[in-house]
């Protein structure tokens, strides 16, 4: 039976995540915050969902898009750089897209950048004409070069891209950059950003149906709730009715507040969910604008 046929009869949702690496623990923590729990297999490659019929498959991140394409997994948590590189590979070989980004997850941030030797005076992409560029992302780099109208040689390397100029394999590189320390150590500087990357929830272009579709919808609702509440706080305060318009101007990141009249008077009690930082300075500004009895509470869960 083909993987796709196998997927068609499954009544459990299967999510692929990194077995190890910088996305592994944050991915599991995010899913756990959605109320999922698992029983791990002895080989630590499969986690059976206990709280919900949602299982985890622990794999290499480069394998995740392919597992989704083959129907072995329904969803995957993977870097946008990995997903888009494989989307680009399929496009380059005239194959239709089979997976796409469903949600950005807000962790694992980095960027795919073009870097050149520190002593280069950067005058723009045209400077790369006729040059060799080393990368582990040939599809994304080739797409970018085509968009820039630059004819350069793409040198594909599986690792240690940053030392390619010192080894004489290339004049420039295209690689993932986080802090930039590795580039500095190799006397390189970033000059162009090709892709802003982070962890994403990837899934098929054509949605699956049945029980798995219901489970996926439930998971997305919970994910959206968790991501929406990241760094959010519930702000409670009292104010005179006339002061409310000016106070709301100080809360541009807040949802429309819940308002309660206090004992039939002109005073109101307000409750607003703020999605930005509620700093001491912000509270002082609100107090000066007429708020009092200010109280800031953490928000644990929310389901819209």
Return the domain boundaries, the chain: 3-108+199-228, 110-196, 233-298
Backbone angles phi, psi at 13, to 5 degrees: -85, 140
Can you name the CATH fold of 233-298?
Alpha-Beta Plaits (3.30.70)
Q: Which of 146, 153, 147 is nearest to 171 (CA)?
A: 153
Residues 240 and 236: their CA atoms lie apart, in Å, by 14
Average pLDDT estimate for 139-161: 94
Q: Is the distance from CB of 268 to CB of 291 less than 8 angstroms?
A: no
Model pLDDT, residue 9:
61
Q: What's the mean pLDDT in 150-170?
A: 92
Q: Given the structure tokens 């950059």, which residue do they identify?
A: 177
- Which three-class secondary structure state does DSSP give residue 103? strand
The percent of the chain in helix, strand and coil, each rounded to the nearest 5, is 35, 30, 35
- Kindly state the average pLDDT of the residues 29-40: 92
The CA distances from residue 133 to 114, 120, 122, 176, 294, in Å, are 9, 14, 15, 14, 57
| pLDDT over threshold 70, residue 168 | yes
Say yes or no to pLDDT of 1 above 60. no
Q: What is the mean pLDDT of the chain?
A: 90
Res. 301: pLDDT tops 80: no
Across the range 109-131, mean pLDDT stands at 94
Write down the pLDDT at residue 5.
Answer: 42
- pLDDT, tens digit, 9 for 90 and up, residues 90-109: 998 999 889 999 999 999 99
Q: For residues 15 and 181, what is the distance between their CA atoms, to the nearest angstrom?
A: 33
Q: How confident is the model at residue 227 (pLDDT cuts 50, 70, 90)?
A: confident
pLDDT tens, residue by residue, 245-293: 999 999 998 889 999 998 877 899 999 999 878 889 999 999 999 999 9
**Average pLDDT estimate for 5-24:** 80
User: Residue 131 CB: number of other CB atoms within 10 A?
Assistant: 14
Distance of alpha carbon 23 from alpha carbon 15, whole angstroms: 14
pLDDT score, position 298: 85
pLDDT of residue 304: 63
Please list, residue by residue across 145-163, b when 16 or more beta carbons sit within 10 angstroms of its beta carbon and e when fewer do: beeeebebebbebeeebbb
Nearest Cα to Cα of residue 12 among 58, 74, 65, 69: 74
Has residue 8 got a pLDDT over 60? Answer: no
Pairing of strands 132-135, 267-274: unpaired
Query: What is the spatial distance between Cα 280 and Cα 299, in angstroms, rounded to a whole number?
Result: 18
The CATH architecture annotation of domain 110-196 reads 3-Layer(aba) Sandwich (3.40)
pLDDT category of residue 187 using cuts at 50, 70 and 90 = very high
Q: What percent of the chain has pLDDT above 90?
A: 75
Nearest-angstrom CA–CA distance, 238 and 230: 25
Q: What is the band of 3 on the pLDDT scale with cuts at 50, 70, 90?
A: very low
**Torsion sign across C-alpha atoms 110, 105, 65, 102:** negative
Name which of 168, 167, 131 is nearest 151 in CA terms: 131
Beta bridge partners of 115: 173, 190
- Lowest mean pLDDT of 66-80, 191-205, 217-231, name the range: 217-231
Q: Which helix (H) or strand (E) holds 27?
A: helix 24-33
d(CA 289, CA 93): 61
CATH of range 3-108+199-228; options 1.10.3210.10, 3.40.190.10, 3.40.50.2300, 3.40.50.10380:
3.40.190.10
**Host H or E run for residue 195:** strand 188-197
Query: Which pLDDT value is given to residue 6?
Result: 43
Phi, psi of 240 (to 5 degrees): -70, 150
Say whether 110-196 and 3-108+199-228 share the same fold: yes
The pLDDT of 42-60, averaged and rounded, is 91
- Which position has the higher pLDDT, 292 or 229? 292
Range scoring the smallest mean pLDDT among 4-8, 42-46, 72-76, 243-247? 4-8
What is the pTM for the complete model shown?
Answer: 0.79
Average pLDDT on 47-62 reads 94
Among candidate residues 190, 163, 164, 187, the one with its CA nearest the CA of residue 176:
190
Which pLDDT score, from 0 to 100, does residue 111 have? 95
The whole-angstrom separation of Cα 26 and Cα 45 is 17
Nearest to residue 268, comparing CAs of 284, 244, 251, 250? 244
């Amino acid at each position: 039976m083909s993987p796709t046929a196998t997927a068609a009869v499954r009544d459990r949702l299967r999510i692929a995540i990194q077995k190890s690496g910088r996305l592994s623990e944050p991915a599991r923590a995010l899913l756990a915050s959605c109320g999922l729990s698992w029983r791990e297999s002895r080989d630590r490659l499969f986690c059976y969902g206990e709280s919900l019929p949602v299982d985890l498959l622990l794999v290499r991140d480069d394998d995740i898009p392919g597992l989704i394409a083959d129907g072995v997994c329904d969803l995957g948590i993977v870097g946008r750089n990995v997903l888009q590189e494989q989307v680009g590979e399929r496009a380059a070989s005239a194959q239709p897209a089979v997976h796409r980004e469903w949600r950005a997850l807000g962790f694992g941030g980095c960027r795919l950048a073009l870097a050149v030797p520190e002593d280069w005076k950067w005058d723009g992409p045209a400077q790369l004409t006729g040059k060799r560029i080393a990368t582990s992302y040939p599809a994304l780099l080739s797409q970018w070069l085509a968009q820039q109208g630059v004819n350069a040689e793409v040198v594909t390397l599986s690792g240690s891209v940053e030392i390619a100029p010192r080894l004489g394999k290339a004049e420039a590189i295209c690689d993932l950059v986080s802090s930039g320390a590795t580039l500095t150590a190799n006397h390189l500087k970033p000059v162009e950003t090709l892709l802003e990357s982070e962890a994403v929830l990837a899934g098929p272009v054509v949605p699956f149906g049945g029980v798995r579709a219901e489970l996926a919808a439930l998971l997305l609702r919970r994910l959206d709730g968790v991501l929406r509440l990241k760094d959010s706080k519930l702000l409670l305060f009292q104010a005179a009715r006339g002061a409310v318009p000016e106070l709301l101007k100080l809360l541009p990141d807040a949802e429309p507040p819940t308002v309660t009249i206090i004992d039939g008077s002109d005073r109101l009690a307000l409750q607003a969910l703020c999605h930005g930082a509620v700093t001491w300075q912000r509270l002082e500004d609100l107090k000066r604008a007429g708020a009092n009895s200010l109280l800031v509470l953490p928000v644990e869960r929310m389901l819209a």
